[in-house]
Amino acid sequence: MRTKNRLTFMVLGLGLAACGGASPVTDGANEGAAGAGAGGSAGETAATGGTGSAGTPGAAGSGGSSNSSGGAPGAAGAGMGGSPIGMAGSAGSGPLPGSGGDGGTAGAPMGGAGAGGEGGMPIDPPDPAGVVGFAFAGLADSNAIYSPVANYSYNAGGGDISIERTGEGAYTVEFENLDPPMRSAQVTAYDHDGYCTVSSHSTDRASVRCYDNDGNLTNAAFSLAAFGPAETSASVVAYAYAGAPNAPQYGANANYSYNLAGASMTARRSAAGTYTLDFNGLSLTTGNVQVTALDSHHHCSVDGWSGNTVETTCYDDAGTPADTKYVVMVIKSSDSPAAILGYAYSTNSTDPSTDLTGGPSTFNATGGTVVSERSATGEYRVTFDGADFSASHPHVTSRTARKHCGVTQWGADWVRLSCWDDTGAASDSLFNVLVVE
């Protein structure tokens, strides 16, 4: 049973009058590069290649005789560049799984990235991941440290949650005694035509920055959700921190990334601000994807996902694709302590009403219908029939280029959201919406 934090700053009356402004709930409604040289003997490193016009890949070191890792590939030969793929070390032959060899070392000066080594015997998947905390920060202009309303906040460690505005548009959210720890975070602006980003986070606190459409810091309300290890079956099947925005290809930071399949995660850049994340071994045929820009006044949208890949584009203030650090999260229904109440994948941005029920990326915990209604340009209401959102926490991500979306209100079984272009004008957009409790 999850433990909610106690309200320490505000006294909650009827509705959410204490929050100020609009109420969110209304009354009743290492991979290496090229290897070179010959392969080493069992459990040893291969020899270094000689000088030449292009280094050739080092052969794989063979497996050790007992519980050992495969040998490392040879270093690159000098010259114009090594071969782009270093051979993998073979698995150890002892009773425990042998580790794969690393990729080859880069050739000089033009060697490409070497392929990672293959593992030995199959390994167990990592511990499950889920929602470990969330908070609705409703006092955008407050100069005092306050605790969020208990119905709209959660701390898996049972401690207090505090929110502090540290400057114009700058906030810190701290989850006291958070356990399990925070490994990833997503943020959504609330009733604000700009956007918010995660500036940084540790294991128990996150820094949030909110901007107007000119990229200037501005005060705004927001919802923050934290993800990390969970004690029950996974509700979060993957998340990743892509922290090298200019690199053509690299492995996602393992300390702040997760793949339920237990395999590697590879980030790729095909053009300015245009990225894919491969969650190797994972099937993304169902579920909900959210993305947040990190440490930047840029914003990102989900372009799509299929197979084991999520596609993302990030934009600057002018709506031009721009290199950006970002975090991506994939979530599915489960019995996590912080329950997934529902999520939806919109399929039409202009129809007055669209029934989303039964789609592979739409879910209602009650089994009821899910319907998206458009009331005006860029204005939508998504209803999850029979749901109870009285103690919930919604997030939304745009899926249309140069658009961003935010939550404007939520009620008994519905979420209202708005989408804008980069000038701040209301604009129709496809979106993903997620509600957790």
Tens of pLDDT, residue by residue over 413-426, are 999 999 999 888 99
Q: How many residues make up the chain in this entry? A: 437
Query: In the listed set 297, 331, 365, which residue is the last one of a domain according to the structure?
Result: 331
Determine, yes or no, domain membership for 280: yes
CA angle 288, 297, 145 (to 5 degrees): 85
Could you give the number of structural domains in the chain?
Answer: 3
The answer as to whether 207 is a domain residue is: yes
- Residue 116 belongs to some domain of the structure: no
Q: How far apart are the first and last CA of the chain?
A: 12
Residue 390 lies in a domain: yes
Q: What is the dihedral of CA 329, 335, 336, 339, to 10 degrees?
A: 80
pLDDT of residue 286: 79
Host domain of residue 180: 129-229
Residue 162, pLDDT above cutoff 70: yes
The pLDDT of residue 100 is above 60: no
Greatest CA separation for the chain: 78
Query: pLDDT class for 63, splitting at 50, 70, 90?
Result: very low
- Contact partners, residue 416, CB within 8 Å, separation at least 6: 379, 380, 381, 407, 408, 409, 410
In a shared domain, residues 322 and 241 = yes
What is the pLDDT at residue 338? 53
> Domain check: are 283 and 367 in the same one?
no
Res 229: pLDDT: 81
Could you tell me if 254 and 220 lie in one domain? no
Instruction: Judge residue 46's burial from the number of C-beta atoms within 10 Å of its C-beta, 0-12 exposed, 13-18 middle, 19 or more buried.
Output: buried
Tell me, yes or no, whether 318 and 360 share the same domain: no
Tell me the per-residue pLDDT of 305-341, one tens digit each, with 9 for 90 and over: 989 999 999 999 888 999 999 999 888 765 554 578 8
Q: What is the CATH number of the domain that holds 138?
A: 2.60.40
Assess contact for 31 and 114: CB atoms under 8 A. yes
Residue 364 falls inside a structural domain: yes
Q: Is the pLDDT of residue 354 over 60?
A: yes
pLDDT at residue 334, as a whole number: 57
Comparing C-alpha atoms, which of 244, 242, 184, 192 is closest to residue 217?
A: 192
Final residue of a domain: which of 182, 209, 229? 229
**Alpha-carbon distances of 321 from 19, 293, 300, rounded to whole Å:** 36, 13, 9
One domain, residues 396 and 316:
no
Could you tell me if residue 73 is inside a domain? no
Task: Say if residues 103 and 117 touch (Cβ distance below 8 Å).
Answer: yes
pTM attached to this predicted model = 0.64
3-state secondary structure of 86: coil
Q: Are residues 352 and 280 in the same domain?
A: no
What pLDDT, on a 0 to 100 scale, did the predictor assign at position 1? 37
Q: Which residue in this structure is represented by tokens 């969330």?
A: 134
